[in-house]
Structure 1
Amino acid sequence: MKNKEFILHYYNTISGVIKTPEMLRRFTDDPVLIDTITFFDGAFPKYEMTAEEMTAEGNRVVVRARMKGKHEGEWEGIMPTYRQVEFPVVVSYEIVNNKIVTHWLVADPSVLMEQLGVDTMNKTD
């Protein structure tokens, strides 16, 4: 229960605000997670994370969540579309001493690309 509350506090803290490395270090020292969040926040400033379902076992918490934001910065070579996006993700966190030490995230990028108006079926390189 303690780890679920930690992740809910984390989501409530980072949702709807610019995510600074200093803020994120309150929850993790993992440079990969900090860089990923900072990068995503650059493309979707102040994006929100909403937990829809959480499961906890030992020091691991798995969250089925929704990410919501507005595409205002370059993302994966796509210039800002200024469209609102909302898509499901699943994130697993390992928590040790009130810090996220590892994580993994699963998302379907085609859902995001469709909302951004990118036609991935006819895209050629």
Structure 2
Amino acid sequence: MAEMIEKKCQNCKAPMQVRLADHERGWGKFCSKSCKAKRQTKMTGIAGPDYRASGQSVKQMQNGKYAKSQFKRHDGISPMKHKKCAQCGEPAVNGVIWNGEVTWYCMDHLDNTHPFSSDALGQW
């Protein structure tokens, strides 16, 4: 069984048990995530989004403005608003990463062959 030590939470000063290995890594400073968040806000002055300020419940916020479904990945088919094709200037639909840089292309100029397909390998 892991060796435990007694410590106090750096935010609320509540006594807590911490594994010695976690203490040596610099972990185990707070008794909960909420205590860590309160201390971080106090130290940096930056708070996360306050869901209560809008007067809505967390459930309403999850289904509304902050819903994960709003941040879906681009489908790679429909044109983007702010990206232009590197060859013709039309709205881009997808980008290609080469040597750490992204080059954007429209549907006409995008090479959509899968790298392991027979067309890409040229073997079949």
Structure showing greater radius of gyration is 2
Query: Taking structure 2 as the reference length, what is the TM-score of the superposition?
Result: 0.22
Q: For CA contacts below 8 A with separation 6 or more, give which structure has more relative contact order.
A: 1
Query: Taking structure 1 as the reference length, what is the TM-score of the superposition?
Result: 0.22
